[in-house]
Structure 1
Amino acid sequence: MMMIALTCLSLVALLTAVAWAVPVLGRPTLPFGVRVPGTHVADPAVTAQRRRYTRSVLLLGGVAALLAPPAAVLLGTPDVVQAVIVVLGAAQIGLFYAAHRAVTAAKRRGKWYEGTRQATAADTTLRTDPERVPWRLLIPPVLLLLITAAVGSTRYAALPETLATLRGWGVDAVTRVPTTPATAFAPVLSQLALTLLTPLLVAALLRARPDLDAAHPQGSARRYRVYLRGLSRLLLAGVACANLTLLLLALQMWETLPSGTLVTVLTWLPVAAVALAGLTFAVRVGEAGHRLPPLPGEEQESGYVQRDDDRHWHLAGMLYANRMDPAILVHQRVGGRWTLNLGNPIAWAITAVIAVVTLLSVLGVIDLPESTM
């Protein structure tokens, strides 16, 4: 019961911290996913919404921290924890969307873009001299994948008829499944998927349309390169850490390594380390590199402001749809991720493939490797 309460409290604290950090770490010219000119980043309407959002998120997190753990203990089921997370996350999204609507309304009332010279910036050197995938960083995850596969092949003949399952944060020795190549080598399949797909993702991100600032084109182009370089290395380092965690989970599932609280903590330390590295990167570099200090000469403004493209963004800057934009991947306004341009037919084709595969998996037509992370 105590473990359920601690898990619930930890997740509430994590969600509250993430919700608080999203607007803090975001780009100043995109408060709550709304494009504003540089002269209005500190507008009273924006400042008021930041304060209101912060107070509401912290108050909501405090109430959830007081009520959710006792409820989870009284009912004694992990389903309560999941319900709390869903409700809290939905409430936080609602607060963010309300702030987005308020800033949008203030922008329209004040006509913030009236009289400005709007433009977009491009860096052609990202095509002629693009950032490269740091392939050498794939050596550690590939080695860990081979080690896990070798140990699994050696242990497979001696495995019992049933295996413990990988569930939650560790190995569930109570819920067992028949020993088959698919169940025994599930961690190896997960490692293989991560090792193959992540470099492809990195290559796509390095070729995606850059997110530059027309007010400071030279400086934003340099900072964006630094951002891409660091992000690609962080993603590939994350694969190595994830593969190490999967190796330790596999050893527990194959009964080579005993399970326990200490082993569980050590198992997830690599993932925690890369998560901490990601947080440090977000604080120091920021989305698209906007938090990096400018070099001499980069502070001079071009006389233009970034084009107001709010009409192409939906759900508070989460979804992008622009038929006139040939880009497939674009940098999301919120959260430091990329999203598909739903105005591009290729994006719809990718979405359809994912939807069909997911539906076939749900219907049992095909079997996808179960997630162990």
Structure 2
Amino acid sequence: MTPLIAADVTAIVLVTCLMLAVPAMAGPTTPFGVRVSHARAGDPAVIAQRRAYARLALAAGACAVAVSVPLLVRGGSTSVVGATATALVVADLLLYWRSARRLRAAKLAGGWRDEQRQGVTVNTTFRTDPVRLPWSWTLPGAATLLLTAGLGWWRYGDLPATLPRFSGYGVDAARREPVTVLTAFAPVMYQLAVTLLILAVTLLLLRARPDLDAARPVGSARRYRVYLGGMARLSLLGVACLNLGLLASALQLWTVVAPSTLWTVVTYLPSVGLLVAWLVWESRVGHAGHRLPALPGEEDEDSGVTQRDDDRHWFLAGTVYVNRRDPAILLHARIGASWTVNLGHPVAWALLAVLAGAGLLAALGVIDLPVRQSGF
């Protein structure tokens, strides 16, 4: 029971630390997803909400420990650990949304919106000279894909009549499937799908509308270029990390190694390393690159206007955007290295319809979606 309790407490601590860092992932002019001017970035109302969120997030973590540990002592299973971590994430997200609502109310009550002239900035070089995809960073992921395919080809003739069921990340040794080309080379097909999907998404993000600051147009455009380049490199590094995890799963599927707890850890280790790299990078560059050092001449840049207040189009603390008059389909969200689609655009409606249709077909048993092995 002690290892299970340790896993539970560790999961709660990790979730709490991650959620405490969420406000820092937003830009200085979009705390909790609310648009403010640079002059109001350090306003007492903003600081008060940051402190309140931190206190409540710590209290939520303490409550999670107080509830889950007694359940585990009384004979709870691993499902308690997963349920506790999920409930804690939901609770912290609700606390974040609470702070966003209170900060927006303080902004309206104080008349912050009318304090400065508002405007937007456009930089056409993001179209005429866009940030290029660093193709050399695709080599590690492609090499891992080719290595996995080669190992599969080498093992295919010596495979037993049945194989453990492949679950994406890991195998289910209790369930066996007949050997076919599809079942044997499932890890390779997953790797190919991951590689192509991340490449396509990265290319789309590089062409998405840039997140620029009308108050500091020159500096924000340069920083955003650096930010996009780092995001693209990390995304392509993510291909290699995910493919390495799938390679570890393939070794278990092809009976090169026996499934075990150690190999489960090895399977997820590259993904954990990728997550750590993303968090370190995000903490250094900041939202849309705002923490990058200014070049000479950018320190005191001030155009005399503040970024246009478009809070009425943003929902759920700056994560959901709806604007029927905006032609942009994809744009940077107001938290961390994340993007969102404009739900007011017809293309977004079509995309949601496709996803809803796939979910309905899966629920009816018409198609099978990939199965994710539980981390708990």
Q: Deviations over 1:324-362 (max 9, x none)?
A: 111000111123210100111111111211221222223
Are 2:17 and 1:4 equivalent residues in the alignment? no
Separation (CA, whole Å) in 2 of partners of 1:176 and 1:291: 51
Which TM-score applies when normalising by structure 1? Answer: 0.93
The residue that corresponds to 1:344 in the other structure is 345
Give 1:123-138 correspondences, 5 Å limit: 123-138=123-138
Give secondary structure in 2 for the equivalent of 1:294: coil
| Correspondence for 2:241 | 241
Q: For the residues of structure 1 that align with 2:4 and 2:174, how far apart are their CA atoms?
A: 17
Looking at structure 1, the residues matched to 370 and 268 of structure 2 have their Cα atoms a distance apart, in angstroms, of: 20
1:286-325 correspondence to structure 2 within 5 Å = 286-299=286-299, 300-325=301-326
Task: Tell me by how many angstroms 1:218 deviates.
Answer: 0.4
Matches within 5 A, 1:195-344: 195-299=195-299, 300-344=301-345
In structure 2, do the counterparts of structure 1 residues 233 and 43 end up closer, same or farther at CA, with 3 Å as the change threshold?
same
1:3 is displaced (CA, Å) by: 4.3
Structure 1 counterpart of 2:43, which letter? Answer: D
What is the Cα deviation at residue 41 of structure 1? Answer: 1.0
Which residue of structure 2 aligns with residue 83 of structure 1?
83
AA of the residue aligned to 2:310: D
In structure 2, the partner of 1:114 is: 114
| Alpha-carbon shift at residue 137 of structure 1 (Å) | 1.7
Q: Supply the distance in 1 between the matched residues of 2:186 and 2:44 (Cα, whole angstroms).
A: 54
Identity among equivalent pairs (%): 51
- The alignment's TM-score, normalised by the length of structure 2, stands at 0.93
1:164 corresponds to 2:155? no
**Which stretch shifts more, 193-202 or 87-96?**
87-96
Counting only pairs closer than 5 Å after superposition, residues 132-147 of structure 1 correspond to structure 2 as 132-147=132-147
> What's the counterpart of residue 356 of structure 2?
355
Q: Against the structure 1 CA distance between its residues 226 and 269, is the aligned structure 2 distance closer, same or farther, given a 3 Å change threshold?
A: same
Task: Write the distance in 2 (CA, Å) between the matches of 1:69 and 1:158.
Answer: 47
Gapped runs of 5+ residues in structure 1?
A: none
> Is residue 192 from structure 1 mapped to residue 187 from structure 2 by the alignment?
no
Paired amino acid for 1:188: V
Any idea what the Cα deviations from partners look like across 1:263-310, whole Å, max 9, x if unmatched? Answer: 333333322222221111101111100111111111221111010000
Could you tell me how far apart the structure 1 residues matched to 2:167 and 2:14 are?
20
1:34 corresponds in structure 2 to 34
Q: Distance in 1 between matches of 2:73 and 2:118?
A: 56
Q: What is the distance in 2 between the residues matched to 1:43 and 1:168?
A: 47
- Going from structure 1 to structure 2, the CA distance change for 1:3 and 1:182 (only over 3 Å counts) comes to farther
2:173 partner SS:
strand
Deviations 1:171-214 (A, max 9, x none): 44334444444333332222111111111111100000000011
What is the total number of aligned residue pairs between the two structures? 373
Q: Secondary structure at the match of 2:8?
A: helix
* Alpha-carbon shift at residue 162 of structure 1 (Å): 3.5
CA contact (8 A) 1:186 1:370 kept: no
Tell me how far apart the structure 2 counterparts of residues 206 and 337 of structure 1 sit (CA, whole Å).
Answer: 12
Q: Distance in 1 between matches of 2:69 and 2:149?
A: 40
Q: Compute the displacement of 1:48 (Å).
A: 0.8
Shift of 1:371: 4.2
Following the alignment from structure 1 to structure 2, what is the Cα–Cα distance between the partners of residues 126 and 174? 52
CA contact (8 A) 1:205 1:329 kept: yes
Following superposition, the deviation at residue 170 of structure 1 comes to 4.4
CA contact (8 A) 2:223 2:292 kept: yes
Residue range with higher mean Cα deviation, 66-75 or 269-278: 66-75
3-state SS of 1:367 partner: coil
Which moves more between the two structures, 295-304 or 163-172? 163-172
- What is the CA–CA distance in structure 1 between the aligned matches of 2:2 and 2:250, rounded to whole Å? 27
